[in-house]
A and B are shown apart, each in its own frame.
Chain A
Amino acid sequence: MSLFNRRLPKPVVILLILLSSFSSVMSQSSKVTLNGYVRDASNGEELIGVTVYFPELKKGVITNAYGFYSITIAEGAYEITFSYVGYTTIQKSLTLSSSTELNIELEEATETMQEVVISAEAADANVTDIAISTEKVDMTQLKNMPAVFGEPDLIKMVQMMPGVITAGEGTSAYFVRGGSADQNLILIDEAPIYDPSHLFGYISVFNSDVIKESQLYKGGIPAQYGGRLSSILDVRTIDGNNKDFGGSAAIGTLASKAMIEGPIKKDRGSYLLSARRSYADLFLKIVGNENRVYFYDVNAKVNWKQSNKDRFFVAGYFGRDAFKLGGVFGFDWGNTTGTFRWNHLFSEKLFSNTTFIASQFDYGLELEDEALGFRWTSVIDELSFKQHFNWFVTPKNELNFGYNLTYRRFQPGNLQPNVESSIFENVELQKLYALDHALYLGNKQVVSDKLTMEYGVRFSIFQNVGPGDVKIYEDPQDNIRPEVVRVDSYSSFEPIITYYNLEPRFSARYLLSDVSSVKLSYNRMAQNVHLISSGTVPLPFNTWNPSSTYLKPQLADQVAAGYFRNFKDNMYEMSFEGFYKYMQDVTDFADNANIFFNEDLATEFRQGDSEAYGLEFQLKKNIGKFTGFVNYTLSKVTRTVPGVNHGNPFPSNYDRRNSFNLLASYELNEKWNFTSTFTYSTGRPITLPTGQYQYQYYNPSYISERNGYLLPDYHRLDFSAVLVPLKNKNRHMQTKWVFSVYNAYNRKNAFTLYSREKEADGQPTGEKEFVMIYLFPIVPSVTFNLSF
Chain B
Amino acid sequence: MKRLLIALVSLALITSCEKVVNPDIDQSTPQIVIEGLLTNKDTTHFVKVSRSIQFYESGVNPIKDATVVVRHGTDTYSYTHNPMAVDSLDGYYFSDTPYAGAIGEAYTLSVNTGGITYEATDSMKYVTNIDSLAVVLAPNVDDEDREAGRIYQVLLFAKEPKETVDFYQFQFFSNDTLITSAESIYVFSDEILGDRLDGLPSPVLFKEGEKAGVEIYSLTKEQYLFYTDLSNLLNSDGGMFSPPPANPRNTFTNNALGLWQVSAVREGSILIEP
> How far is it, in angstroms, between the C-alpha of A757 and the C-alpha of B180 when the chains are bound?
14
Q: Which of B213-251 contact A (CB under 8 A)?
A: 221-222, 225, 228-230, 232-234, 236-249
The answer to the question of A78 belonging to the interface, with a C-beta cut-off of 8 Å to chain B, is no
The answer to the question of A647 belonging to the interface, with a C-beta cut-off of 8 Å to chain B, is no
Given B31, B192, B199, B225, which contacts A371 in the complex, CB threshold below 8 Å? B199
User: Which stretch of B21-29, B69-77, B81-89, B111-119 is in the interface?
Assistant: B21-29
Q: Which residue of B lies closest to A323 (CB)?
A: B11
> How far is it, in angstroms, between the C-alpha of A424 and the C-alpha of B236 when the chains are bound?
27
With A537-B241, A539-B241, A653-B239 already in contact, the answer to whether A369 and B25 are too (CB < 8 A) is: no
With A423-B194, A754-B236 already in contact, the answer to whether A539 and B54 are too (CB < 8 A) is: no
Q: Are B243 and A535 in contact (CB under 8 A)?
A: yes
| Inter-chain contacts of B191 with A (CB < 8 A) | 427, 599
Q: Which of B252-270 contact A (CB under 8 A)?
A: 257-259
The answer to the question of A761 belonging to the interface, with a C-beta cut-off of 8 Å to chain B, is no
Given A427, A537, A698, A708, which contacts B182 in the complex, CB threshold below 8 Å? A698
Q: Are B239 and A698 in contact (CB under 8 A)?
A: no
> How far is it, in angstroms, between the C-alpha of A256 and the C-alpha of B49 when the chains are bound?
61
Q: Are B18 and A771 in contact (CB under 8 A)?
A: yes
For residue A323, give the distance in angstroms from its CB to the closest CB of chain B. Answer: 7
For residue B38, give the distance in angstroms from its CB to the closest CB of chain A. Answer: 14
| Inter-chain contacts of A752 with B (CB < 8 A) | 237-240
The answer to the question of A200 belonging to the interface, with a C-beta cut-off of 8 Å to chain B, is yes
User: Which stretch of A295-303, A382-390, A569-577, A588-596 is in the interface?
Assistant: A588-596
Q: Which of A721-762 contact B (CB under 8 A)?
A: 748, 751-757
Task: Provide the B27-57 mask, 1 if CB < 8 A to any CB of A, else 0.
Answer: 1111101010000000000000011111111
The answer to the question of B198 belonging to the interface, with a C-beta cut-off of 8 Å to chain A, is yes
Q: Which of A769-788 contact B (CB under 8 A)?
A: 769-777
> How far is it, in angstroms, between the C-alpha of A481 and the C-alpha of B54 when the chains are bound?
33
| Inter-chain contacts of B222 with A (CB < 8 A) | 480-481
Q: Are A592 and B22 in contact (CB under 8 A)?
A: no
With A535-B242, A701-B233, A771-B21 already in contact, the answer to whether A367 and B4 are too (CB < 8 A) is: yes
| Inter-chain contacts of A599 with B (CB < 8 A) | 191
Q: Which residue of A lies closest to B5 (CB)?
A: A596
Q: Are B192 and A427 in contact (CB under 8 A)?
A: yes
Q: Are B52 and A702 in contact (CB under 8 A)?
A: yes
With A424-B193, A693-B257, A774-B19 already in contact, the answer to whether A687 and B52 are too (CB < 8 A) is: no
> How far is it, in angstroms, between the C-alpha of A753 and the C-alpha of B236 when the chains are bound?
9
Q: Which residue of A lies closest to B57 (CB)?
A: A692
Task: Provide the B163-204 mask, 1 if CB < 8 A to any CB of A, else 0.
Answer: 000000000000000101010010000011110111111000
The answer to the question of A689 belonging to the interface, with a C-beta cut-off of 8 Å to chain B, is yes
The answer to the question of A4 belonging to the interface, with a C-beta cut-off of 8 Å to chain B, is no
| Inter-chain contacts of A425 with B (CB < 8 A) | 192-194
| Inter-chain contacts of B221 with A (CB < 8 A) | 480-481
| Inter-chain contacts of B13 with A (CB < 8 A) | 751, 773, 775
Q: Are A700 and B248 in contact (CB under 8 A)?
A: yes
How many chain B residues have a CB neighbour from A under 8 Å?
Answer: 83
| Inter-chain contacts of A248 with B (CB < 8 A) | none
> How far is it, in angstroms, between the C-alpha of A31 and the C-alpha of B201 when the chains are bound?
83
Q: Are B199 and A701 in contact (CB under 8 A)?
A: no
With A597-B1, A700-B230, A773-B17 already in contact, the answer to whether A371 and B55 are too (CB < 8 A) is: no
> How far is it, in angstroms, between the C-alpha of A423 and the C-alpha of B162 when the chains are bound?
12
For residue B146, give the distance in angstroms from its CB to the closest CB of chain A. Answer: 14
> How far is it, in angstroms, between the C-alpha of A571 and the C-alpha of B56 when the chains are bound?
56
> How far is it, in angstroms, between the C-alpha of A716 and the C-alpha of B238 when the chains are bound?
22
Q: Which residue of B lies closest to A767 (CB)?
A: B58
With A323-B11, A690-B25 already in contact, the answer to whether A480 and B241 are too (CB < 8 A) is: no
Interface centre among A421, A691, A754 (most CB of B within 10 A): A691
User: Which stretch of A324-332, A334-342, A451-459 is in the interface?
Assistant: A324-332
| Interface residue ranges, A against B (CB under 8 Å) | 167-168, 200, 283-286, 323, 325-326, 328-329, 331, 365, 367, 369-372, 376, 415, 421, 423-425, 427, 480-481, 534-537, 539, 541, 589, 591-597, 599, 653, 686-704, 706-709, 748, 751-757, 764-777
Identify 26 residue pairs between A and B in the complex whose beta-carbon atoms are under 8 Å apart, listed by A's number. Answer: A285-B15, A325-B11, A328-B139, A370-B139, A372-B201, A424-B192, A535-B242, A592-B232, A594-B2, A686-B238, A687-B246, A689-B25, A692-B57, A693-B258, A700-B233, A700-B248, A702-B257, A748-B17, A748-B19, A752-B239, A752-B240, A754-B245, A756-B182, A766-B58, A770-B23, A771-B20
Closest 6 CB pairs of A and B: A690-B28, A591-B246, A534-B243, A691-B28, A693-B52, A752-B238
- Contacts beyond the supplied A592-B249, A753-B238: 16 A-B pairs with Cβ under 8 Å: A372-B200, A423-B198, A424-B192, A534-B242, A535-B243, A539-B9, A594-B2, A687-B238, A690-B25, A692-B57, A698-B182, A752-B237, A769-B22, A770-B22, A774-B16, A774-B19
